[in-house]
Chain A
Amino acid sequence: MNEMSKIVRTVANFVYGFIIIFGFYIIVHGHLTPGGGFQGGAVAASAFALILVSYGTINSQKFLKKDILSLFESFGLTLFILLAFSGLGITFFYNFLANSGNWFGNTAVIGINPGDMNTGGLIPLMNIAVGLEVLSALGVIVLIMAKAAEFTKKKENS
């Protein structure tokens, strides 16, 4: 894919930060508003697709590296399964942080309220782990498909 014109590249530079922040907002507030790990990760990965389309495949390889995204994906997955193991004293996936007063431990108030972010227990942590994993995995998929398209175009033209 070739790079696009200067206007497109400038707008992409500007909008990229907002898309990533919006994606992280959806991930972190998953236990209060609609959203969560997968939805926020998919929104943030669309920022990578924006960079790939507007800068072209070869230029964006300098910015988005496949190895580092792959490493983040493994980190996200291992964090998720270790959080599930951490409740093993009672049962697997036991939410030991909910209603306990520690980190993320407040009790949720029933009724009309604006929503306290400090509630939920293990759920926001698992949302963050899944969001990191989905972000990296979709980024790797989009990058590899773009690289394969380059290879095929070169083969067809030769």
Chain B
Amino acid sequence: MSILLNNSPILILALPLLAAFLIPLISRINKKTVGIFAVFVLLISLVLTILLAVKIISVGPQVYVFGAKSSSLTLPTGLKIPIRIMFQIDAMGIFMGLITAMVSFLGAVYSLAFIRKREGMDKFYSLLLLLTVGMFGMEFTGDLFNLFVFLEIASIASVALIAYRGTDFGEPAEAGFKYMIVSTISALFVLFAIGIFYGEYDLLNIAALANMIKYSQLDKIALALLLSVFAMKSGAVPMHMWTPDAYSEAPAPITMILVAASQASLYALFRIIFSLYNVHMNTLAVGWIIIIFGVLSMFIGVTMAIVQKDIKRLMAYHAVSQTGYMLLGVGVGLAVLSNPIALKDYGITAFEGGIFHIMNHAMYKGLLFLTAGALFFRTGTRNLNKMGGLAHSMKYTTIFFIVGAAAIAGLPPFNGFASKLLIYESVYKFNPLLSIIAMVVSILTLASFVKVFHSAFLGPKLPQFKDVQEVPRSMVFSMAILSCIIIVFGLFPDLIVKNLVHPAVMALVEQVKYTGTVLGGM
């Protein structure tokens, strides 16, 4: 048992990787068991992540060095810089890791019943496990080039999953092509920036680089490249064009995991800005750039969402809009990072709102995409004009949709209210206009979800849907777990903020603790 816990940073990644490679061999023997095998492996990953989270929050950041004589030997004898690849997990990394573990486990359970194509099942589950490995790797690593490799693994696996239905229909192939070009260009420019760092300082480890960085002209070029490219990967306006196509044409459980993958890119952006640069750069200017990305995303996302007819495309535009909330909260915190009085007054609260919103968004947006998938599974269409009166026959789906829609609009007993209130309060003290824009966007979000609820669920029972029943049990199980998490987070937000979010925010803000874990002398 203790060998599991000591090696748990790597076992969370290596067990799904081993399972992804074994699944083609298992499917030659028996085709039906690959889904259950994938669910079992992801359950083990989830349990190990929860145990690791408890250990990190109580003890401190963990380091795992590959191939060394002991797993925390970061500086080999006689050297002053770390030379091996390592995983460095602090409270922010394990926060994102919990989201990834929960979302991929529930996605795999949902797709046991949702995927009905019988010949490519082993490739689907293998790619799902590879996407999970890529996301975990991005969130746990402490090395810049390792970040690039896992970013590429995640984007290649997600393109193949988006174009999964492309053998029968044409639109998923088009969406997959657009997403592939965008993510390949992003990854190549990340590699260019890593090359700039290596040429200047001869180091690739994030903590060692953070110790030595001076804000020279080349570092400014690298910061501009990394900022724009990671914002493009997470779906911020004006680089959001791939989001509606990719999210609407993927199968429903894959869309939920893709939302978590976009948030992993957002995490990589925050890691670069806070743990690599921190106060060496001009935090007011970069903070205002992030605030402008956030405000544009919020506004353009929600106004494009109101006019949509396709239910998943509408929810994809809402995903763009909610990413704007996260960027707004963290941008306000970044803009006052050099100012200790303002930081203690409202900066930390803005950070907490933005980071807490990441977890809330993954939960309620995942639930909404799963209910859209349930509607598509039973009725065969995604067009809101053709649906109607489904609340008579699909009672559980209606309840879960109400929970999700209330959470995204920010109504009180659900978790959206907690994080949005933190953002409104702290942003108001920084600049009142931004807070007013955020509140108007929230009202428009509620309006568009009332439209969806009315056209899909209310009304008389339509004749073409007269033998529609409730969705199978594994799909109801996934949606029920997400609803319980939303309700629990909404009723007790104080516990979550104090135990999970505040250590994560402190781990981002204090750069000295990040470098001290690796270079010793902590």
Check B66 against A78 for contact (C-beta < 8 Å). Answer: no
Given A91-B67, A93-B66, A93-B67, is A74 in contact with B14 using a C-beta cutoff of 8 Å? Answer: no
**Beta-carbon contact of A90 and B69 below 8 Å:** yes
Question: Does A85 sit within 8 A of B, measured CB to CB?
Answer: yes
Contact A74 B21 (CB under 8 A): yes
A91 to B67, CA, bound (A): 6
Q: Is B68 an interface residue (CB 8 A)?
A: yes
The answer for the CA separation of A70 and B431 in the assembled complex, in Å, is: 59
B447 within 8 A of A: no
B25 is an interface residue with CB less than 8 A from chain A: yes
Is the CB–CB distance between A78 and B70 below 8 Å?
no
B residues less than 8 Å from A84 (CB atoms): 14
Q: In the complex, are the beta carbons of B21 and A92 less than 8 A apart? A: no
Q: Answer whether residue B24 sits at the interface, using C-beta atoms and an 8 A cutoff.
A: yes
Residues of chain B contacted by A91 (CB below 8 angstroms): 7, 64-71
Nearest Cβ in chain A — how far from B126, in angstroms?
A: 10
Report the bound CA distance from A90 to B10 in whole Å: 12
A60-92: contact bitstring with B at CB < 8 Å (1 yes, 0 no)? Answer: 000000000011011101100110110111111
CA distance A92 to B64 in the complex (A): 9
Q: Please tell me if A99 contacts chain B, counting CB pairs below 8 Å.
A: no
CB distance B7 to A88 under 8 Å? yes
Across the interface, which residues of A come within 8 angstroms of B17, CB to CB?
81
Q: What is the distance, in angstroms, from A70's C-beta to the closest C-beta of chain B?
A: 7
Across the interface, B22 reaches (CB within 8 A) one of A71, A78, A94, namely A78
A42: min CB distance to chain B, Å: 18
Q: Using a CB-CB cutoff of 8 Å, which residues 109-125 of chain A contact chain B?
A: none
CB of A46 within 8 Å of the partner chain: no
- Tell me which residues across on chain B come within 8 A of A57, comparing CB atoms: none
**Which residues from 40 to 95 on chain B have a C-beta closer than 8 Å to any C-beta of chain A?**
64-71
Question: What residues on A are CB-neighbors of B68 within 8 Å?
Answer: 91, 94
Please indicate the chain B residues that have their CB under 8 angstroms from the CB of A106 in the complex: none
Task: Give the distance in Å from the alpha carbon of A49 to the alpha carbon of B22 in the complex.
Answer: 28
- Whether B18 sits at the interface, judged by CB under 8 Å, is yes
Residues of chain B contacted by A95 (CB below 8 angstroms): 67
Which residue from chain A places its CB closest to the CB of B73 in the assembled complex? Answer: A91
CA distance A8 to B344 in the complex (A): 77
The 0/1 profile, CB within 8 Å of A marked 1, for residues 19-37 of chain B is: 0011011001000000000
| CB of A71, distance to nearest CB on chain B (Å) | 8
> Which of A73, A85, A87, A94 meets B18, CB within 8 Å?
A85
Tell whether, in the assembled complex, residue A74 and residue B25 are in contact, meaning their CB atoms are under 8 Å apart: yes
Closest-CB distance, B25 to chain A (whole angstroms)? 5
Closest to B72 in A: A91
In the complex, what's the smallest C-beta–C-beta distance from B390 to chain A, in angstroms? 40
Q: Are A90 and B70 in contact (CB under 8 A)?
A: yes
Q: Measured between alpha carbons, how far is A114 from B298 in the docked complex, in Å?
A: 65
Chain B residue with Cβ nearest A133:
B21
Known: A74-B21, A74-B25, A92-B7. A81 touches B14 (CB 8 A): yes
Contacting residues, chain B, for A82 (C-beta < 8 A):
18
Are A92 and B18 in touch, CB under 8 angstroms?
no
**Chain B contacts with A in 1-24, Cβ cutoff 8 A:** 3, 7, 10, 14, 17-18, 21-22, 24
| A81 to B21 alpha-carbon distance, docked (Å) | 9
The residue in chain B whose Cβ has the minimal distance to the Cβ of A92 is B10
A70–B65 CB distance below 8 A:
no
Flag B232-245 by CB within 8 Å of A: 1 or 0 each.
00000000000000
Of A78, A89, A91, the most chain B CB neighbours within 10 A belong to A91
In the bound complex, residues from chain A placing their C-beta under 8 Å from that of B66 are 91-93
Query: What residues of A have a CB within 8 angstroms of the CB of B21 in the complex?
Result: 74, 77-78, 81
Known A70-B24, A71-B28; further 12 A-B contacts with Cβ < 8 A:
A73-B24, A74-B22, A78-B22, A81-B21, A82-B18, A84-B14, A90-B69, A91-B64, A92-B14, A92-B64, A94-B68, A94-B69
What would be 29 A-B contacts, judged by CB atoms less than 8 Å apart? A70-B24, A71-B25, A71-B28, A73-B24, A74-B21, A74-B22, A74-B24, A75-B25, A78-B22, A81-B14, A81-B21, A82-B18, A84-B14, A85-B14, A88-B3, A88-B7, A90-B70, A90-B71, A91-B67, A91-B68, A91-B70, A91-B71, A92-B7, A92-B10, A92-B64, A93-B66, A93-B67, A94-B67, A94-B69
Hey, which bits of chain B sit against chain A, CB under 8 A? 3, 7, 10, 14, 17-18, 21-22, 24-25, 28, 64-71
Instruction: Report, nearest first, the 10 A-B pairs whose CB atoms are least far apart.
Output: A77-B21, A93-B67, A92-B10, A74-B24, A93-B66, A78-B21, A91-B71, A74-B25, A81-B18, A94-B67
